[in-house]
Amino acid sequence: AQSVTQLDSHVSVSEGTPVLLRCNYSSSYSPSLFWYVQHPNKGLQLLLKYTSAATLVKGINGFEAEFKKSETSFHLTKPSAHMSDAAEYFCVSRGWGGFKTIFGAGTRLFVKA
C-alpha cells in the first residue's frame, strides 16, 4: 500500500541553523516524490520533486532532498534557515500507474530569531 509518513509534526530551529524535515515513504514500487510548502493562508507551492535522474534533488529557496531507496526516505534539508521559511511542509507520494497522490500529515516549521 502507498503511504507517506512525516516523522515530526513540528520542528523548531533558530535562524541561520540547518533545517531537517523527515519523510519516509511506503510503496510497492519506487514512487514519484515531492515536497510542497504551504504558507499561512496561502496555497500549496512545489518545492522540489524527485525525478530519478539524481538522488539529490535541488529545489527552490535553497532547499534540497535526498532520495534513499535503502531507507525509503526522502528528507528535506536546508543549510541555513530564514524567517521566511516558517510554514507547513508536506511530503507527497505518487504511485505508479494510477497517479494517486498522497500527502503526508505535514511538518510545521518554526524559525526563531
Partner 1 sequence: DAGVIQSPRHEVTEMGQEVTLRCKPISGHDYLFWYRQTMMRGLELLIYFNNNVPIDDSGMPEDRFSAKMPNASFSTLKIQPSEPRDSAVYFCASTLGAATNEKLFFGSGTQLSVL
Query: CA-CA distance, 41 to 14, in Å (whole number)?
Result: 23
Question: What is the footprint of partner 1 within residues 65-104 (CB under 8 A)?
Answer: 90, 92, 94, 96, 98-104
* Number of other CB atoms surrounding residue 48 within 10 Å: 20
Between 25 and 36, name the residue whose CB sits nearer to partner 1.
36
Question: What is the footprint of partner 1 within residues 9-68 (CB under 8 A)?
Answer: 31-32, 34, 36, 43-44, 46, 49-52
* Whole-Å CA distances, 72 to 12, 24, 30, 40, 89: 24, 6, 9, 30, 18
* Whole-Å CA distances, 45 to 2, 9, 35, 67, 90: 22, 19, 9, 20, 10
Between 7 and 15, name the residue whose CB sits nearer to partner 1.
7
Between 73 and 107, name the residue whose CB sits nearer to partner 1.
107
> Does 106 help bind partner 1 (rule: CB under 8 A)?
yes
Query: CA-CA distance, 67 to 57, in Å (whole number)?
Result: 8
The amino acid present at 6, given as its one-letter code, is Q
How many residues form the binding site for partner 1 (CB under 8 A)? 24
- Please check whether residue 91 is in contact with residue 74, taking contact to mean a CB–CB distance below 8 angstroms: yes
- Closest approach of partner 1 to the CB of residue 93, in Å: 10
Between 31 and 78, name the residue whose CB sits nearer to partner 1.
31
Rule CB under 8 A: which residues touch partner 1?
31-32, 34, 36, 43-44, 46, 49-52, 90, 92, 94, 96, 98-106
